[in-house]
Structures are given as C-alpha cells and as structure tokens.
Amino acid sequence: MPAVMVGGSFYWLLYGNSQGILEFDLDKRRLALIPMPMGNTGDMRDGNIWVMPAEGGGLGFVFLRGFRAQLWKRRTSCKGVASWLLGRTVELDKLLSLNSEKQIERPRILGFAEVNNVVLLGTLRGIFMVQFELLHFKKVIKSNPWYSHYPFEGVYTADGGIGGGPYGARVLHNM
C-alpha cells in the first residue's frame, strides 16, 4: 500500500504478525506503530482497509466489513491520550445500488486519491469513485478483476527551464 501523508507524517498499513499503522513523523524523524482499534481484521491485503485522512482532518482509515464501510479517526484527548473513534458507517449496497443478496464478491478498496479524498472501490458491477465526506459516488469503468488500478489526479510536464520561466512545469490534466 502506498504511503499517505497526513499533517507532518507518512503512514503505511502493516499486516502480518504486527498489524497496525506505521507512522514516520518527518519533524521528529521518529517511527511509531499505531495499533488498530479492532481485533482480528482478517487478511488486510485483500483490500478491506486503507489509511487516509479522517473527516475533519487528522489520521483515519476506512475498513470494509462486508457491504459496510466504517470510517475511523484518531483522536487525542486534552491529556495527550490517543484513541480510535468510529466516525461513520456507510451502507455501500444502498449508496452504490448494489444488491448484497445477489452479490457473491464483496467490494474491495483498489486505491485512494489524496487530493480529492476519493476511494476507488471494486465490485462485480464496476469500479466506483466514492467521496465519503459528501457521500458522492461515480461509476468509473466496468470492472475487470485481472487489472490493477492506481489512481492519479494530475499530470505535469517535466521542467524544461531554469527557474520555471516560460518552459517550466505545468499541469496538463487535473482530475
């Protein structure tokens, strides 16, 4: 899973013997392991958990449990004690008009686009972009389970001149 930057830290999801979130604080140049709030999360490599910024800022993650997306956020009390808080649960089968009784394969997270805070979800009916804060979604393409997907939000040309000048980098396409 690619790193996600929230505030002044990078975060990676860890799975295996030490399940959790690895934090690298850029200012303090320190690594820390943040435990997950739930016990057994199953095989985290199956696309059911993705680290992302929380609604309203700070560290968060989305956890798919069947056809439900749980949005978790990390909070720190006034005494400096950090804990996880379940922010919101979204019924994906209702939001995306999926029939969960007929659906054999559960949705899975294919990627995350940081700039627009959009999650790519793969289902048998297609690939959807979901913006959880506003509960907006859009079907992007029909699904093909054999392809990998990597969301990107902008393409820049290479810097052709010193100091940017008229030949500097510029946006070709911004999503």
Q: 3-state SS of 42-76?
A: CCHHHCCEEEEECCCCCEEEEEEECCEEEEEEEEE
pLDDT of residue 106: 77
151 or 82, higher pLDDT: 82
Instruction: Specify the pTM.
Output: 0.74
Helix, strand, coil % over all residues of the chain, rounded to 5: 5, 45, 50
Six token digits for residue 15: 């799975």
**Following CA atoms 154, 160, 164, 166 in sequence, which dihedral angle do they give, to the nearest 10 degrees?**
-100
pLDDT of residue 41: 55
Nearest to 174 by CA among 156, 149, 158, 150: 156
162 or 112, higher pLDDT: 112
Residue 91 to residue 97: CA distance in whole angstroms: 10
78-113: pLDDT as tens digits: 998 999 999 999 988 888 776 655 656 678 888 888
74 or 122, higher pLDDT: 74
Mean pLDDT of the chain: 79
Residue 42 to residue 33: CA distance in whole angstroms: 19
Per cent of the chain over pLDDT 90 is 25
Average pLDDT for residues 143-158, to the nearest whole number? 59
Q: Identify residue 20 by its one-letter amino acid code.
A: G
22-53: pLDDT as tens digits: 999 999 999 999 998 875 555 555 568 889 99
Nearest to 122 by CA among 143, 96, 137, 148: 143
Angle at 121 between CA 96 and CA 74, to 5 degrees: 105
Please say if the pLDDT value at position 153 is more than 60.
yes
* pLDDT-wise least confident of 13-22, 41-50, 135-144: 41-50
